[in-house]
């Protein structure tokens, strides 16, 4: 089981607004190989968000079967 509380900053107006995205080469590569590769979206900007990176990191570490969970704010759940 992996539990986390990743930051969420996809909607920030400027990259320096309190929570700048960081580069994590291994995780960024995994996101590109999986989520971005299979996505039909015209913009993949949100895939650089730490929230997405957490889920990629967590699911890569799960044993089968396994559970990944995260704290989330209300608008994602609604």
Distances (CA, A) of 55 to 14, 17, 20: 23, 22, 18
Q: State the pTM of this model.
A: 0.65
Q: Where are the alpha helices (DSSP H) in the chain?
A: 25-31, 37-38, 50-61, 74-77
Contact criterion met (CB below 8 Å) for 7 and 51: yes
Supply the pLDDT for residue 64. 77
What pLDDT shows up at residue 20? 63
In this predicted structure, what is the pLDDT of residue 16? Answer: 59
Dist CA 63 CA 75 (whole Å): 29
Q: What is the pLDDT of residue 32?
A: 92
Where on the phi/psi map is residue 18: left (φ > 0), alpha (ψ -120 to 50), or beta?
left
pLDDT in tens, the chain (78 residues): 666 666 655 556 665 566 566 778 999 999 999 989 888 888 777 787 777 888 888 888 887 788 887 776 655 554
């Amino acid at each position: 089981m992996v539990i986390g509380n990743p930051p969420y900053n996809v909607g920030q107006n400027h990259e320096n607004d309190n929570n700048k995205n960081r580069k994590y080469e291994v995780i960024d590569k995994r996101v590109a190989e999986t989520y971005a590769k299979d996505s039909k979206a015209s913009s993949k900007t949100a895939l650089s968000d730490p929230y997405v990176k957490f889920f990629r990191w967590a699911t890569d570490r799960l044993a089968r079967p396994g559970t990944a969970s995260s704290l989330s704010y209300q608008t994602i759940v609604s």
